[in-house]
Structure 1
């Protein structure tokens, strides 16, 4: 496209145009130069030469940066302007409340300074940036990163997370070249992050839809792929109501690789073009079981003293008490050892205090070495060990499900053939649980009494419990293969 005569003699491309041909910005005198700089910012453009143009005067000529890092003059959709206005209005009010809530619940969050990206760390440029919000999504990212590393050893890989536990889990493995917090979804932090990393591809795990990040990627012609995409029932209802506003914000998404056909239909229904959406399966089914147990496993076996182990994983506030009550109701002769893993490890000391209230002996995982005799309960206050420690369990209760928080990942215990019990609130993994329950690979309980009764049956008849676990392992084997399909798509954007 040709440049045209701008105000005060400044040559700029047509508004909203793509910088495919040389861009001329006048620098003959200070006033015009300032007009050029303020009216038309030029990120990622490089000076090529100076020249004199008839009727215009001396000018600098700019060309776009290399294609993968090119710049498209951004047309800001009205929905993004509304989003920015809402953020600007709500953030000053909401921030103090969010900080107080996090402190009250003992949640750890990445520092504000790190998420503002004012002093970004040096990062490998020109590779792929994979973002996973928290622990579960980091697990998916690690599976993808391992396959990407195998196929694309020349490509640098950056992994980001939003939560402190997600970052700690990401940093505990060497699957990425760098681990960083996701920038706050504001223009400045997002710009600084992308200018530092200069990725050729951004991959968002599950459904992390950050409007400012998506818009900034589009402005820089960075492809964005949603991997393992899913939309829960509750999210879908809200997204569908907001479709007129949401659809323009989703326009920068290059590809969405859905966990199921239902997720694919929902993505199209909220505004993604159908040709950009493909159902490939759930990467979580491909997660291999850990090759070895963490060192603490021996200490847990020692204090369990030969009793079968019930692993209650990712329990939420208010749910620990329900599990403890169910275990305490069992007769001592049929009572398992309880490995209790709060979803947020910072709650572990408070959970341990509640254990004592039920007359059960207890220790934190980090203090096990000082314990000599048997215990009734160990509370995990560590990050990243639960997925491996499910291997010790005879039965697994997967938390976040007896309280209405959406449930957590049942695939982690299923990898070891461990029978699974869950509460009814599993909207975050609805499709997985539908398949598990329809094939007898998990049981759903709704009350503490139901949980007590099921535990009594399973610990009284281990063979019946093992059949449930074997059914879960068979489902994982039948559904394997999504990782290869996802990385096939990613590879298209990263080939030299």
Structure 2
């Protein structure tokens, strides 16, 4: 299996390099790893103690962020080093100010991994959610570097629990401790002989609570919403936008819409404008004098969706008619009921929100129209909103538990040295 995995990795690297000629994201993926780790080695000489956090992409970074920020506030003598697998995470957070260095995870090949770890020499490795790389994990174990995996969630269909998953099960044995999101994950790990897990929950609840509590206003959005009922469509794709435009055309209700699509390329923005027959206003072209009279506002830039939810009465979260829904928690942190498509069951928080009435799951236009009409009623929203806020409050606290666990592991290593 190890031999086959190494062949797979060589083919993967070759395929990425060939694809980089035609796909910008693959070009970033390969180019970022060509440079080696000379800069890391140089920066590392200025750090006496290092916490390394690895994230697959941007979503995992947001899960890990409250942990490293809380740890850094308690232990300023440690420097934070961060790696990403995906360019979509690295490109957005490469200038993250809390980190001494941000870079790419090496290809999971012995030479690359050894060069990376010799340059980094972390005191502890933090893996967010379920990033598992057999060669890397084996090397960490051999070097005696503790590995803590947090905000992890495991499902029966994962390869660790299949007959062919031996290599990845073995990699999990290098993890010092798992902080998982649900009881099912504890049971699944125990089923393969791993009892070093703690039910801690999801750090994103702490993160979104902080965002909601410290969210700054956006003057232009305030001018746009006025006293209207506001529906916000966050991280949407074309199927979501078609449902919304049809409801809008058929509804006799008075409301305003903020659309923050997942993709903000010119072609997609033009598609949205076409759906509404041009009766929209782009945020990038808006002026204060135009906003009050506008009814459909398209957010055609990135970076502040989480701040927009404070202006809405309910939300549509995109992705449920595609690969899977996007972030519902940013809306939930403000107590917003959400409307989502049917592909949501891989996301524990969405399952929970559905169970308490905080999420309305729709499968077609009629159900979408009914859900929107229901949430236009203040009394309908109020009861759901209170349940959502209570749920979010009860889910906070994972960050403190995980940081305490990291501290305990570092102390244990220091005492054993």
Q: What TM-score range do you get, normalising by the shorter chain?
A: 0.7 to 0.9
Give the match for residue 170 of structure 2: 248
What pairs up with 1:449-464 in 2 under 5 angstroms? 449-459=366-376, 461-464=377-380
- Write the distance in 1 (CA, Å) between the matches of 2:12 and 2:57: 24
Give the match for residue 258 of structure 2: 338
Find the partner of 1:176 among 99, 105, 123. Answer: 99
What pairs up with 1:257-296 in 2 under 5 angstroms? 257-269=179-191, 271=192, 273-287=193-207, 288-290=209-211, 291-293=213-215
Give the match for residue 208 of structure 1: 131
Give the match for residue 344 of structure 2: 426
CA distance 1:118–1:197, shift in 2 (3 Å): same
TM-score normalised by the chain length of structure 1: 0.73
1:148-197 superposed Cα distances (whole Å, 9 cap, x missing partner)? 01222211111222334423443465333332232333334333322222
Judge which range, 372-381 or 483-492, deviates more: 372-381
1:119 CA displacement:
4.9
Indicate the structure (1 or 2) with the bigger Cα radius of gyration.
1
1:202 CA displacement:
0.8
- Write the distance in 1 (CA, Å) between the matches of 2:383 and 2:95: 34
CA distance 1:168–1:88, shift in 2 (3 Å): closer
Give the match for residue 49 of structure 1: none
CA distance 1:218–1:380, shift in 2 (3 Å): farther
1:377 CA displacement:
3.3
Find the partner of 1:132 among 39, 55, 80. Answer: 55
What pairs up with 1:40-439 in 2 under 5 angstroms? 79-93=1-15, 95-97=17-19, 100=22, 102-103=23-24, 110-121=28-39, 122-124=42-44, 125=47, 126-171=49-94, 173-232=96-155, 235-236=157-158, 239-269=161-191, 271=192, 273-287=193-207, 288-290=209-211, 291-293=213-215, 297-316=218-237, 318-331=239-252, 333-342=253-262, 345=263, 347-358=264-275, 359-369=277-287, 372-373=290-291, 374-403=293-322, 405-429=323-347, 431-439=348-356
1:370 CA displacement:
8.6
- Write the distance in 2 (CA, Å) between the matches of 1:447 and 1:277: 40
SS of the residue aligned with 2:232?
strand
1:293 CA displacement:
4.0
- Write the distance in 2 (CA, Å) between the matches of 1:388 and 1:109: 32
CA distance 1:493–1:382, shift in 2 (3 Å): farther
- Write the distance in 2 (CA, Å) between the matches of 1:387 and 1:177: 26
Structure 2: segments with no counterpart, 5+ residues: none
- Write the distance in 1 (CA, Å) between the matches of 2:89 and 2:219: 26
1:201-253 superposed Cα distances (whole Å, 9 cap, x missing partner)? 110100111223212222322111111111246x4278524233332232322
Answer yes or no: is 1:474 the counterpart of 2:396. no
- Write the distance in 1 (CA, Å) between the matches of 2:28 and 2:288: 32
Preserved CA contact (<8 Å) 1:109 1:163:
no
1:443 CA displacement:
1.4
CA distance 1:285–1:212, shift in 2 (3 Å): same
1:97 CA displacement:
4.7
- Write the distance in 1 (CA, Å) between the matches of 2:204 and 2:400: 12
- Write the distance in 2 (CA, Å) between the matches of 1:371 and 1:449: 36
SS of the residue aligned with 1:427?
coil
1:317 CA displacement:
5.7
CA distance 1:419–1:185, shift in 2 (3 Å): same
Count of residue correspondences? 403
SS of the residue aligned with 1:375?
coil
Preserved CA contact (<8 Å) 2:231 2:258:
yes
1:300 CA displacement:
2.4
1:458-483 superposed Cα distances (whole Å, 9 cap, x missing partner)? 12x12311321221110011122211
Judge which range, 160-169 or 393-402, deviates more: 160-169
Preserved CA contact (<8 Å) 2:225 2:311:
no
Preserved CA contact (<8 Å) 1:206 1:229:
yes
- Write the distance in 1 (CA, Å) between the matches of 2:146 and 2:114: 16
SS of the residue aligned with 1:334?
coil
- Write the distance in 1 (CA, Å) between the matches of 2:38 and 2:283: 35
- Write the distance in 1 (CA, Å) between the matches of 2:129 and 2:51: 16
